[in-house]
Amino acid sequence: MTFWEKFAVIDPRWIFLGMAVLLTFPVLSPLGLAITIDQETTVPIYNWIENLNPGDIVFADVSFSGGSEGELGPQLQAWFRHCLQKGVKVVWVAQWNTGERLGYNMCVEVTEKLEEEGIHTEYGVDWVYVGWKAGGTTMWRNMQIDFWDACAGTDMLGNSFDDLPLMERVRKWDKETCKGIMLFTAGSPGVPTYTTYFHDYDIYLGDVAVQVPGNMNLLRSGQIKGILCGLPGAAQYEILLEKPGRAVKLMDAQSLGHLWIMVLVILGNIGFYVRRKSGTPVD
């Protein structure tokens, strides 16, 4: 086999090793590559929170688990930080029971960081984590009619809604109360719950990159108003907030990872054509 023909049959272990090196290196030593803000997908979400008044209530949904935490975690934390900085009140629900605790922990991290920066927030006043409630989409429909009854009057931590001042204003999940819905989703149940039963609300999406093409038609048709597209979306939001964090740091790694895939594909094709030209059987 000639030098070029070898590129058609690279051992997968070399591919994995190259990917590991290129993903690790920028995390240890960031390159600082530029990030462009997407005006159609990310900016509408930023503008939505920016244009709300302090005291307005928004609902957010955690529909992911640990596997998608790498992409949706930074999105959630950047968006939640923005809400708390603006004085927007957030009521959290969770369609996935596996992501319930994860979402809560990430929210607590944000409040602790804000506390260090001198921005005080209080659980029960600025945000409430209702968490996961059994019953699926029927439960979500009942929340629209009587939120307290549907959630059995308690949050994830077992606190009664009577003891949480914010919940006094959230008797029903209706358009009077809710100034928009932010959904962080990695699968099912997820978007269809809101596009079907909350279709007249302003719905915004924090999505894993792999699902963005499938959900793009919802953006085009106006069923959702904005999407944070995976890790780039989180990085863009952090830049809009002028608080670059984990997502911005990891974007360098993602760029190099994509570059490695492109290099491999080019080399693979070169090897493929050289083998075909020399008459060696190709797959």
Partner 1 sequence: MVLTLIFAIIRCGFELIEPMLSWELAPGQTVFSRLSFSITFMTVMGLLMGLINLTRLHVNTIRRKRENWVYSIWLLFVLYGYAIVGLGWGPNGTTFNWIYEAVIVPLDSTMFSMLAFFIASAAYRAFRARNIEASILLVVAFIVMLGNVSIGEMIWSSSGWLGGFKGIKDWILAVPNVAHARALAIGIFLGAYAATLRVFLGLDKKYLGGTD
Partner 2 sequence: MTNLLILAAEAPARKWGIFVPDDSTIFGLFFGIFMLILVYVMIQRARAGLPIPEIRRIPGMEAFEEAVGRATEMGRPVHITNYSADVGDYDTWAFWSYLAHVAKLCASYDTRIINTNAEYLTMTVNEEIIKQAYLEAGRPDAFNPDDVRFVSPWQFGYTMGVAGIIAREKPAANFLTGYFYAEALILAEAGALVGAIQVAASASTAQLPFFIAACDYTMIAEEFYAGAAALSKEPVIYGSVVAQDIGRVVLTALIIVGAIMNTFGSDAIIRLTKF
Q: Which residues bind partner 2 (CB under 8 A)?
A: 12, 65-68, 98, 145, 186-188, 196-197, 199, 210-211, 213-214
CA angle 201, 202, 204 (to 5 degrees): 130
Residue 265 binds partner 1 (CB under 8 A): yes
**Residue 120 contacts by C-beta under 8 Å, 6 or more apart in sequence?**
114
Token pair 């008044």 is found at 53
Give the nearer residue to partner 2 in terms of CB position, either 116 or 200.
200
- Near partner 1 by CB under 8 A, which window of 75-83, 174-182, 197-205, 260-268? 260-268
Q: Which of 214, 277, 278, 280 binds partner 1 (CB under 8 A)?
A: 214
Interface residue with partner 1, options 108, 262, 277, 278 (CB under 8 A): 262
Q: Is 35 in the site for partner 1 (CB under 8 A)?
A: yes
The number of C-alpha atoms within 13 Å of 267 and in the hemisphere containing its C-beta is 15
**CA 212 to mean position of chain CA atoms:** 11
Say which entry of partner 2, partner 1, none residue 28 contacts (CB below 5 to 8 A, set by partner kind): none
Among 4, 6, 19, 172, binds partner 1 (CB under 8 A): 19
Q: Exactly one of 269, 277, 278, 280 binds partner 1 (CB under 8 A); which one? A: 269
Q: What, of partner 2, partner 1, none, does residue 241 touch, CB below 5 to 8 Å by kind? A: none
Nearer to partner 1, 19 or 119 (CB): 19
Binding map of partner 1 across residues 129-168, x = CB under 8 A, - = no contact? -----xx--xx--x--------------xx----------
**SS3 letters across the chain:** CCCCHHHHHCCHHHHHHHHHHHHHHHHHCCCCCCCCCCCCCCHHHHHHHHCCCCCCEEEEEEECCHHHHHHHHHHHHHHHHHHHHHCCEEEEEECCHHHHHHHHHHHHHHHHHHHHCCCCCCECCCEEEEEECCCHHHHHHHHHHCHHHHCCCECCCCCEHHHCHHHHHCCCCCCCCEEEEEEEECCCCCHHHHHHHCCCCCEEEEECHHHHHHHHHHHHHCCCCEEEEHHHHHHHHHHHCCCCCHHHHHHHHHHHHHHHHHHHHHHHHHHHHHHHHHCCCCC
Q: Looking at beta carbons only, is 131 or 190 nearer to partner 2?
A: 190
Residue 28 is a binding residue for partner 1 (CB under 8 A):
no
Which amino acid would we find at residue 8? A
Contact 98, 173 (CB under 8 A): no
254 binds partner 1 (CB under 8 A): yes
The residues in 62-121 that bind partner 1, with binding defined as CB under 8 A, are 65-70, 101-102, 105
- Choose among partner 2, partner 1, none what residue 199 binds, the Cβ cut-off being 5 to 8 Å by kind: partner 2
Binds partner 1 (CB under 8 A): choice among 220, 277, 278, 280? 220
Which parts of this chain interact with partner 1 (CB under 8 A)? 10, 12, 15-16, 18-20, 23, 33-36, 38, 40, 65-70, 101-102, 105, 134-135, 138-139, 142, 157-158, 209, 212-214, 216-217, 220, 232, 251-252, 254-262, 264-265, 268-269, 272-273
